[in-house]
Structure 1
Amino acid sequence: MPNPPTSTSPSPVGLRARLVAWAREFLQFGIVGALAFVIDAGLFNLFQHGPLGFLSGHPNTANVLSATIATLFSWVANRLWTYRGRTQDNAAREALLFAFANVGGVLITQFCLFFSHEVLELTSPLADNVAAYVVGFALGTAFRFVFYHYIVFTGTAEQPESAGSVTVAVVGGAPATRPAARKEPEGPTAPPRP
């Protein structure tokens, strides 16, 4: 007797739930990112072009300092809000991966600033902001979103940082939760037989 055909397509309910989860994650990531953007851009302009302008003429240094402060804010906000059900037990490892993702984003922004200053020879405040906070920020944000989802926040609500969570996430899915540990029945049990 032939086996009935099995469907490999996701069920509408599962697909809908997954899309809602992705949309929620992206919205929360976007809100945290928007706040980090305001912190980053505001501090960059304060350091570079503000009343004190103590980093005037040093756009890369101003960008690194402002991005570092915004990154600290972003990690705390993402850990406590956006990915609160997917944080890893090992917070130091997670912070290191988060920092690595943000270094990648900063390097993307640094390259955009470098290209604007050295290749295009655009050095006005407007050019600095377009290079860093339009082009660089957009490219860096896309990189960070993918890296956070698939590499950094891979724990699960039931058991953070499951053994296959990074592998499962990298190949295209959210980490699956491990089944809960089997509990022993409560109450008296029969004594072992000799």
Structure 2
Amino acid sequence: MSERSALRARLDTLARELMKFGAVGGAGVLVNFVVFNLVRHLTELPVVRASVVATVVATGTNYLGYRYFTYRDRDKNGRTKELTLFLLFSIVGLVIENGVLYVATYGFGWDTSLQSNIFKFLGIGLATLFRFWSYRTWVFRALPAREAVETAESFLAEGAQPQRAGTASAAAGERARD
């Protein structure tokens, strides 16, 4: 398999993962904004506390989407560890997201409903970058065998024929000489 086709296969896999992550994340953003605005207008909670409540609710719905849709093919062993890491990285994302809103609200006095929603959106964007990296790297880890299967599938898709056990070492020697 050429390096170019291997790179293309990895980029295709990453693009599919990004689309699934984005679909779940988009639903989470919708939940986040609906809960945020409901809590903000129906209660007396300060803006950042209302945002924290909304982020926690959205995080719960996102976990279900990530585990059972985006990363359903990933390692399912060690759910306690997975959930612990998910919550840890989600808390960091919560701090990033609501830190932006806190600075805008209490640092600059931008606390109208429109301004709060704009800065909440910016905070969500920054936190999403962190969450994507941390979830795919640490929480929903790829199975090592899956990567091997994907590599073999792309190799076979290019027209290579599987080799018999007896000829594998000879073929490996030929490739080493090339």
Same fold (TM over 0.5): yes
Matches within 5 A, 1:22-33: 22-33=14-25
Q: Which has the higher contact order (CA 8 A, sep 6+)?
A: 2
- Asked if 1 retains the 8 angstrom alpha-carbon contact of 2:97 and 2:123, the reply is yes
SS at match of 1:84: coil
Paired positions, count: 149
SS at match of 2:66: helix
* 2:32 corresponds to 1:40: yes
* 2:134 corresponds to 1:142: no
- Asked if 2 retains the 8 angstrom alpha-carbon contact of 1:106 and 1:140, the reply is yes
Matches within 5 A, 1:1-194: 11-49=3-41, 53-54=42-43, 56-133=44-121, 135-156=122-143, 158=145
RMSD: 2.0
The offset of 1:23, in angstroms, is: 0.1
- Asked if 1 retains the 8 angstrom alpha-carbon contact of 2:35 and 2:54, the reply is yes
Partners of 1:176 and 1:64 lie apart in 2 by 41
Which structure dedicates a bigger proportion of its chain to helix?
2
Q: Deviations over 1:30-63 (max 9, x none)?
A: 00000000001111001102xxx11x35112211
Q: Percentage identity across aligned positions?
A: 29
Gaps of 5+ in 1: 1-9, 160-174, 178-194
Give every structure 1 segment of 4 or more consecutive aligned residues whose post-TM-superposition deviation is greater than 2 Å: none
Partners of 1:24 and 1:77 lie apart in 2 by 15
Partners of 1:117 and 1:138 lie apart in 2 by 17
Q: TM-score, normalised by structure 1?
A: 0.71
The offset of 1:156, in angstroms, is: 1.1
Q: Deviations over 1:70-95 (max 9, x none)?
A: 11111111111111111340111101
Q: Deviations over 1:108-157 (max 9, x none)?
A: 12211111111111110011111112x10110000000001111111417
Partners of 1:61 and 1:105 lie apart in 2 by 15
